[in-house]
Amino acid sequence: MPDVGDPAPSFKLPDQNGDPVSLADFDGQHVVLYFYPRADTPGCTTEAKSFRDHWTAFDERDIAVLGVSDDPVEDLAAFAAEYDLPITLLSDADGDVATAYDSYGEKDMFGNTFDGVFRNTYVIGPDGTISHVYEDVTPEAHAEEILADLD
């Protein structure tokens, strides 16, 4: 898992509109890169709505918020539209970016084993290094936790 002070692994992924987004697009600003298992599920919706509800605070601080899952672009577009999400959602269909951030692997749910995205968050500083790491995130109040840590 990348640690505080490590350079953030670079990436380029399609967003909910199919447009390419790379980490380099945000050079010089803080980036909240949060990984979530599945769009439009209870925990993931709670987390996304928390970022939405605190969007003004992130925007005023010039902090980009990027959500990453292995959902296809079409699902991300529907998710963003349904909940009026101002954040950028990225499709990591093959899990390569999540793997680079140690946020993808074998999961066990209801007796079924499968590969999927882990709920982790990384804050990347303006210099491109990781400034904060949150593992196994609890969706409620996560946005507030990040804002408090950055203040």
Tens of pLDDT, residue by residue over 76-100, are 999 999 999 999 999 999 999 999 9
Check: CB of residue 69 under 8 Å from CB of residue 44: yes
**CATH match for 12-150 among 3.40.30.10, 3.40.50.410, 3.40.50.2300, 3.40.50.720:** 3.40.30.10
Check: CB of residue 9 under 8 Å from CB of residue 24: no
Tens of pLDDT, residue by residue over 115-124, are 878 899 999 9
Tens of pLDDT, residue by residue over 24-73, are 999 999 999 999 999 988 889 999 999 999 999 999 999 999 999 999 99
Check: CB of residue 70 under 8 Å from CB of residue 92: yes
Q: Which residues pair with 104 in a beta bridge?
A: 117
Q: How far apart are CA 115 and CA 38, in angstroms?
A: 12
Q: State yes or no: is 121 an active-site residue.
A: no
Task: Break the chain into its structural domains and give their ranges.
Answer: 12-150
The residue annotated as part of the active site, out of 33, 44, 63, 87, is 44
pLDDT for res 69: 96
Range 99-126 average pLDDT: 88
Confidence grade of residue 113 (pLDDT, cut at 50, 70, 90) = confident
User: What's the N-to-C CA distance of the chain in angstroms?
Assistant: 25
Beta strands in the chain (DSSP E): 12-14, 20-22, 30-35, 63-69, 88-91, 104-109, 112-117, 121-124, 130-134
Query: What φ, ψ does residue 41 adopt, rounded to 5°?
Result: -110, 160
- Both structure tokens of 142: 């996560």
